[in-house]
Amino acid sequence: MENQYVIGVDYGSDSVRSVIIDAKDGRELASSVYNYPRWAKGEFCKPAENQFRQHPLDYIEGLEQTIKECIQLAGGADVAAHVKGISVDTTGSTPVAVDATGTPLALTPGFETNPHAMFVLWKDHTATAEAAEINEHAAKYNTNYLKYVGGIYSSEWFWAKLLRTLRVAPEIGSAMHSWVEHCDWIPFLLTGGTDVTKIKRSVCAAGHKALWAEEFDGLPPDSFFSELDPLLTGITGKLFKDTFASDVAAGTLSPEWASRLGLPETVVIGVGAFDAHMGAVGGQIEPYHLSKVMGTSTCDILVAPESDIQDKLVRGICGQVNGSVIPGMIGLEAGQSAFGDTYAWFKKLVSWPIDNLLENSAVIDAKTAEALKEEMAEKIIPELSKQAAALPVDGNYELAIDWFNGRRTPDANQLLKGAITGLSLGSDAPRVFRALAEATCFGAKNIVDRFISEGIPVKGIIGIGGVAKKSPFVMQMMADVLGMPIRIHQFKHTCALGASMFAAVVAGIYPTVEDAMQAMGRGFDVEYDPNPENAAIYQKKFEKYLALGQFVEKQTGKAEAVSEQNSVAV
């Protein structure tokens, strides 16, 4: 039997990774990771203003380098000749303004360094005001255009980011022909597309972030958007009506990209989707088991048969879309805006003396200082986890709220901030770190409880991603907090594996996604079972978390009101 290989490409927040997979059994032949160089330097970003932009060159260079390195590591031309399909997942909503050819404006003359011409990363929260306007505006209509996105539109999503861009950067509005998600653009790039109207739009991205729904026969009417702001007049004519699940081919590899990558032009390219949705497939999701992709943030995915959901709507989540994960099933999405980012923030906080003072040390030389910084950076989180795990599990210590990048679900509000209470002179780094870890686990429980209260059972948790693989401390705590077992998928690059499963389907190797999952799934290597004694203690502390969260949200509302009054006075 001829060897049949597929490639999965996973675009994360900091890097892109590609894998070559044997479609017969899911065995990894090779993998490669590329860190975005412009992003690593902080170019085009203003964290203090919640502006996070990524240059398309980071994506293009990473795509080429990782696939070529995978091919080389796997065996070169002999392996390349047997690659049958490529599928891609990305972060989202991460849209960009493009010209008539579908080229991001940042790749056209005059826009090379304009941050508004670049991809607006998922965690960019500059459009909070626009999101609030969309929510207020939608309430005026008899048709509930927010019904399939949990009833609340988020600043992390497609329309809020577009409206914000048009308002602050009129030059973008004059030059753009359309607004395109990252997961839709990469397949278009690989297939050599030159007409923006020909981009095959992902039902995953369109349904969860852009208000597309079968019930509306596509997007809401143009009048909905023009009445929101005249800047959006005619915008639906520049976008799309039809969408596609990821078991559909976007086309075949273009001659240019076949030459660049050393692959046959017969390679089939699949319609893209968001990382967590393909990651859920790679992690062998089952109905009513919550797949948690745990990285900088979390994206939580649950699938249920369409016949079970029917007219049921879940409040405060990031949408429910038919076919966004597995064709023929409803995909429900939730998540936390900061998960690993919370730990990274604390690491940066406690590392400040190392990062800022060592290089000027009169005791050690610069080379030693740099080596020491690298060593400490590697050891801080593992050692904090070890020391925090040794603390007694009781309710008499620090309590934190995990909204360091706002709240995604339940009930999106990106204006909210994190908090830490219960501090004393005995509060050291391990104790505060433990409070932060607990907060992220409580945030996860809040999501699970919302699903259950809305009539969607959660039978178990599937852990995917960096935190799930690297932190037994956090995973055991989460099992205790949730009171249910957590299975950790054994594959390192699970989202890329999921993308490769879709590649196997679009290439005709398997007839359905379920068939590809069964043949290519790699199983689970760790399971964390809840400790009943700890679960009882955490339940009481979770109630305190909820009360503190209500207080923080109320104070945030008061601060917003004062800010609005001041702006009016000015």
Indicate whether 556 belongs to any domain.
Answer: yes
Q: How far apart are CA 448 and CA 440, in angstroms?
A: 13
Helices 472-482, 429-453: crossing angle, 10 deg rounding: 40
Q: How confident is the model at residue 99 (pLDDT cuts 50, 70, 90)?
A: very high
The reported pLDDT for the residue numbered 168 is 98
The reported pLDDT for the residue numbered 558 is 63
- Percent of the chain predicted with pLDDT > 90: 88
Indicate whether 75 belongs to any domain.
Answer: yes
Q: How confident is the model at residue 2 (pLDDT cuts 50, 70, 90)?
A: confident
229: buried, middle or exposed (CB in 10 Å: 19+, 13-18, 0-12)? Answer: middle
Indicate whether 499 belongs to any domain.
Answer: yes
Token readout for 320 is 């429910």
Find how far residue 547's CA is from the centre of its chain: 28
Same domain? 350 vs 268:
no
Indicate whether 314 belongs to any domain.
Answer: no
The reported pLDDT for the residue numbered 236 is 96
Average pLDDT on 79-86 reads 98
Indicate whether 331 belongs to any domain.
Answer: no
Same domain? 163 vs 272:
yes
- Its domain, for residue 372, covers 340-489+531-569
**If you compute the radius of gyration of the chain from its CA atoms, what whole number of angstroms results?**
23
Average pLDDT on 310-317 reads 92
Q: Please give, one letter per residue, the 3-state secondary structure of 358-383.
A: HHHCCCCCHHHHHHHHHHHHHHHHHH
Are the beta carbons of 542 and 481 closer than 8 angstroms? Answer: yes
Are the beta carbons of 127 and 155 closer than 8 angstroms? Answer: yes
Token readout for 284 is 């062998």
Same domain? 519 vs 550:
no
Spatial neighbors of 177 by CB under 8 A, at least 6 apart, are 98, 99, 100, 196, 238
Q: How confident is the model at residue 566 (pLDDT cuts 50, 70, 90)?
A: very low
Across the chain, what does the average pLDDT equal? Answer: 94
**Res. 76: pLDDT tops 90:** yes
Sequence-ordered alpha helix ranges (H) in 122-157: 128-138
Is the model's pTM score more than 0.85?
Answer: yes
Q: How far apart are CA 447 and CA 406, in angstroms?
A: 15
Q: How far apart are CA 293 and CA 484, in angstroms?
A: 17
Token look-up 């409206």 returns 163
Terminal CA-CA length for the chain: 75
> What percent of the chain is helix, strand and coil (3-state, nearest 5)?
45, 20, 35
Indicate whether 318 belongs to any domain.
Answer: no
Same domain? 106 vs 176:
yes
Indicate whether 9 belongs to any domain.
Answer: yes
Same domain? 44 vs 84:
yes
Same domain? 50 vs 66:
yes
Which CATH number covers residue 403?
A: 3.30.420.40
Indicate whether 137 belongs to any domain.
Answer: yes
Strand runs labelled E in 72-133: 83-90, 95-98, 119-120
**Res. 396: pLDDT tops 80:** no
Same domain? 355 vs 469:
yes
Average pLDDT on 5-17 reads 97
Q: How confident is the model at residue 245 (pLDDT cuts 50, 70, 90)?
A: very high
Q: How many domains does the chain have?
A: 2
Burial 264-275 (b: 16+ CB within 10 A, else e): eeebbbbbbbbb
Q: How confident is the model at residue 252 (pLDDT cuts 50, 70, 90)?
A: very high
Same domain? 18 vs 95:
yes
Q: How confident is the model at residue 559 (pLDDT cuts 50, 70, 90)?
A: low
Same domain? 127 vs 150:
yes
Average pLDDT on 542-553 reads 96
Same domain? 456 vs 506:
no
Same domain? 59 vs 160:
yes
**Res. 521: pLDDT tops 80:** yes
259: buried, middle or exposed (CB in 10 Å: 19+, 13-18, 0-12)? Answer: exposed
Q: Running DSSP on this structure, what letter comes out for residue 215?
A: G
Same domain? 465 vs 563:
yes
Find how far residue 259's CA is from the centre of its chain: 31
